[in-house]
Structure 1
């Protein structure tokens, strides 16, 4: 995490600071340019563990994406089985127009449709991606501009 004012890497938890009616996540040094905000208390729902004991798997959760050349894979697998587009549509309970759009690359299948295609055609259309790894790659390749990059901060 980087400070939204100066752009330095924030060690530990960033400080929520209100500067000119905007809440920003800042480093300790830049927090003096505004008013430090308390964290709002988390609402407790009955039957749930307290916030400190809950585990969050969301950031490390593997996600799936459709492979880039899905349209070629679908068409080649269908032709290899000797099926027409109509026959494939009947087998997976989809309209022929959907098959046409998939094979032409004009439509990207959602996860449910991609899984149906994988099962019936015995091909692999989905690949697993680690969202956290992608976030790290994106952060390494591009650093967003901070307010500190744009404006000079008046000290004093």
Structure 2
């Protein structure tokens, strides 16, 4: 985790000494100012890394072989498709299954899925869109709701510079307060 001259991924400062540090599950180039401000150290990862242990194979193997997902030019990545998963999808699945008198194993068989998919969904973990469709068809329920699109978040730029990770973290912190 040596130092090098680069741009800070958090504040956007360019040509400063940076350190490659883990932050929220990613390795970022962080300047000393941001490192001190956020309390990051080279040996103590913070945030999402706290309870996890690095696997001995992480960072090796298929690096470079994965397809990079690219959007079409002009596509807004943050635009909503108009529908999203209902907040109470787990309760809807459980209630519909119980109304039909099925246990989790029976529902899994009807959907041609593993029982763990049913258990995960009923515990609140979001299943894939394909599995959501199977739940809707098997149980005759609606899990996807239309979104009104009323809440939009805009980031105000005070200077003509590019948006960096620090700006996003600050905006998220302001929204949570």
TM range (shorter): 0.3 to 0.5
TM-score (ref. length: structure 2): 0.42
Q: Which protein has the larger Cα radius of gyration, Structure 1 or Structure 2?
A: 1
The structure in which a higher percent of residues are helix is 1
Which fold has the larger relative contact order, with Cα–Cα distance below 8 Å and residues 6 or more apart in sequence? 1
TM-score (ref. length: structure 1): 0.47
